[in-house]
């Protein structure tokens, strides 16, 4: 049975010591009550929920999976009870607006909570995660009437949400969708079509499910310019006293559920819409604008899923490595009182553990820093600062999604390798981490698409404006930090990698203008290069803090933090050198072979 302990101390360290949460977030208008002490209490309760309620259901939920019969989906044993506990604790509305019944906590707190859920039970987390995505899109783009109806139900978790994009013949290229929306006389629309791969499309956890559906009006222009977004509830809402309740069944049914490699306790559905009643969100032919608000938040959320799986995989690998006796240390018995030394003494096992740990801790710092930027982009009183923060989040979105999910899958596989044959056996739970993590590299835009988004959209925006939100503050940090000789282990390799990143960025921009395939050939390597430098910056910032705290470090927390950071700088960041060579090699070896030769 796998173990899990929520890394509350790590989160507290990053938020308060490294990034100054009280100064950067708790001082923002509307967040004055979200003090570090309050956030700490929330995280402690979140840890109890995830460790005691959600994590024990992870393995059994994977074994049982979801059940489908005649359009009805039942979640695994224990999920309904856990969901009831979840919503009674107000966890669905953690960062939702108090106007609609939410608790109004900063988005960065929700980021931290999402990591804990993803570590404890990724399948369970899909259900409330989709609801918050629907909440965000409705809050941004729907009419006040629709907001007042749906947002309180999504915030309190009694109703759930989905996003219905993909169709059998198209995924990434949404301009090809065939789902139709025909105007009705009462201002609503009749939605007809089929959507596939719909996470949480049907289940038994809530009274109603609110689908956000992409469809095209009869007069829609071709491609993505003709897409509109609609709210299509499973049950049509009816007035119930001062509130709303599920009424007549709408024309939407689950046709089947997918039998998947992982996240088996999360229902992945084929949804059939047959003249289902829906309401327009965000204006006619403006659906992509509204859906991207939901999709970009979902991409960040998926990145956090990768982080969560990486953390729990590392914890289990480290625990096993300290207990499993196998052979002796290369320099002789380190634990002579035991029949064999634990495998943690072996250099290659340490390589795997430290790779997972260094990437995970760096990723957590970047995730929480990005979450704080989201809060600043929404709440900061200075419009220029809001715009800067929003630019930073836009730049980091494809990097977080791709880098973190690639790492989550790698960490799960490394944990399996540390466990050896036991990692391949189901009851140890390690192989489930690998199966669950694998989907994160695919959904919400496969990681290759994220790389193209970074190269093709984010880099050129505003003549490189988004890049400046990253390059300028990092340059300033390195100039100041390099003056401290104690920081040399962190600044020297990072200065070199950062300079190479800037040079490669210019090279790709020039090559891409002349030949888009050159940019495309470099995209995935460039994203990983950028991501590794980003984590290097996070590690340098953490090192700067921990160096100052070494004199009062009875637990060894800061000593271990610095040791992990040095491993990152000397063993992980150098990957950028080979990535740079690959980028400079260009497109020729990728594109010279004829299509028919594959």
Distance between CA 454 and CA 524 in Å, rounded?
9
Distance between CA 15 and CA 66 in Å, rounded?
37
- Provide the pLDDT for residue 170: 85
Which position has the token pair 């540390």?
Answer: 418
Distance between CA 120 and CA 267 in Å, rounded?
18
- Provide the pLDDT for residue 276: 98
- Provide the pLDDT for residue 344: 98
For the record, the structure tokens of 41 come out as 């209490």
For the record, the structure tokens of 173 come out as 């290229």
- Provide the pLDDT for residue 165: 92
Distance between CA 435 and CA 21 in Å, rounded?
35
Concerning whether 444 is annotated as a catalytic residue, the answer is yes
Buried b (16+ CB within 10 A) or exposed e, 52-72: ebbbbbbbebbebbbebeeee
SS (H, E, C) 275-288: EEEEEEECCCCCHH
- Provide the pLDDT for residue 346: 97
Domain limits, the chain: 8-139, 160-285, 453-591
- Provide the pLDDT for residue 174: 76
For the record, the structure tokens of 372 come out as 């704080």
- Provide the pLDDT for residue 22: 98
CATH class for the region spanning 160-285: mainly beta
**Which segments in the chain show pLDDT lower than 50?**
none
- Provide the pLDDT for residue 292: 77
- Provide the pLDDT for residue 291: 76
CATH class for the region spanning 8-139: mainly alpha
- Provide the pLDDT for residue 290: 82
The neighbour count for residue 147, using CB atoms within 10 Å, is 18
What does pTM read for this prediction?
A: 0.97
- Judge whether 491 and 541 are in contact, CB under 8 Å: no
Name the catalytic one among 275, 444, 518, 594.
444
- Judge whether 91 and 280 are in contact, CB under 8 Å: no
- Provide the pLDDT for residue 513: 82
Pairing of strands 208-216, 159-164: parallel
């Amino acid at each position: 049975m796998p173990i899990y302990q929520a890394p509350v101390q790590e989160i507290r360290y990053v938020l308060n010591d490294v990034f100054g949460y009280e100064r950067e977030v708790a001082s923002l208008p509307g967040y004055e009550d979200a003090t570090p002490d309050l956030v700490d209490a929330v995280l402690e309760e979140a840890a109890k929920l995830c460790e005691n309620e959600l994590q024990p259901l992870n393995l059994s939920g994977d074994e049982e999976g979801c059940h489908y019969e005649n359009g009805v989906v039942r979640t695994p044993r224990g999920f309904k009870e856990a969901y009831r506990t979840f919503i009674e604790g107000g966890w669905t509305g953690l960062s939702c607006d108090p106007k609609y019944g939410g608790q109004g906590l900063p988005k960065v707190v929700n980021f931290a909570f999402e990591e804990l859920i993803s570590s404890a039970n990724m399948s369970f987390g899909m259900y409330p995660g989709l609801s918050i995505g629907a909440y965000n899109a409705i809050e941004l783009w729907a009419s006040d009437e629709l907001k007042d109806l749906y947002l309180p139900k999504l915030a309190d978790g009694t109703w759930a949400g989905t996003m219905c994009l993909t169709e059998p013949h198209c995924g990434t290229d949404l301009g090809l969708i065939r789902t139709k929306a025909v105007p009705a006389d009462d201002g609503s629309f009749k939605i007809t079509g089929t959507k596939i791969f719909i996470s949480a499309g049907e289940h038994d956890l809530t009274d109603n499910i609110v689908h956000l559906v992409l469809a095209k009006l009869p007069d829609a222009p071709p491609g993505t310019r003709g897409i509109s977004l609609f709210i299509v509830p499973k049950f049509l809402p009816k007035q119930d006293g001062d509130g709303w309740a599920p009424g007549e069944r709408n024309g939407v049914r689950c046709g089947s559920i997918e039998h998947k490699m992982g996240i088996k306790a999360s229902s992945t559905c084929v949804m059939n819409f047959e003249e289902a009643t829906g309401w327009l969100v965000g204006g006619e032919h403006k659906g992509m604008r509204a859906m991207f608000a939901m999709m970009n938040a979902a991409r960040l959320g998926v990145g956090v899923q990768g982080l969560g799986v990486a953390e729990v995989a590392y914890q289990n690998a480290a625990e096993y490595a300290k207990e499993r006796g196998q052979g002796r240390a290369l320099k002789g018995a380190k634990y002579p009182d035991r029949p064999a030394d634990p495998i943690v003494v072996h250099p290659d096992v340490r390589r795997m553990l430290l790779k997972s740990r260094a990437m995970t801790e760096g990723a957590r710092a970047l995730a929480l820093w990005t979450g704080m930027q989201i809060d600043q982009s929404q709440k900061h009183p200075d419009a220029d600062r809001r715009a800067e923060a929003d630019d930073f989040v836009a730049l980091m979105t494809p990097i977080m999604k791709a880098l973190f999910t690639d790492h989550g899958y790698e960490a799960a596989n490394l944990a399996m390798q540390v466990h050896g044959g036991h990692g391949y056996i189901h009851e140890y739970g390690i192989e489930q981490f690998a199966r669950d993590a694998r989907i994160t590299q695919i959904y919400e835009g496969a990681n290759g698409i994220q790389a193209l988004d970074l190269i093709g959209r984010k880099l050129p925006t505003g003549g490189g404006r988004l890049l400046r939100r990253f390059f300028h503050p990092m340059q300033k940090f390195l100039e100041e930090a390099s003056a401290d000789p104690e920081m040399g282990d962190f600044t020297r390799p990072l200065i070199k990698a950062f300079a190479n990143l800037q040079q490669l960025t210019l090279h790709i921009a020039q090559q891409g203008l002349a030949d888009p395939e050159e940019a495309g050939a470099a995209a995935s390597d460039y994203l990983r290069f950028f991501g590794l430098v980003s984590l290097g910056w996070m590690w340098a910032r953490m090192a700067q803090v921990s160096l100052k705290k070494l004199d009062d470090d009875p637990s060894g927390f800061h000593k271990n933090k610095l040791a992990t950071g040095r491993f990152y700088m000397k063993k992980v960041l150098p990957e950028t050198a080979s990535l740079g060579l690959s980028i400079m090699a260009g497109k020729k070896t990728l594109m010279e072979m004829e299509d028919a030769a594959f």
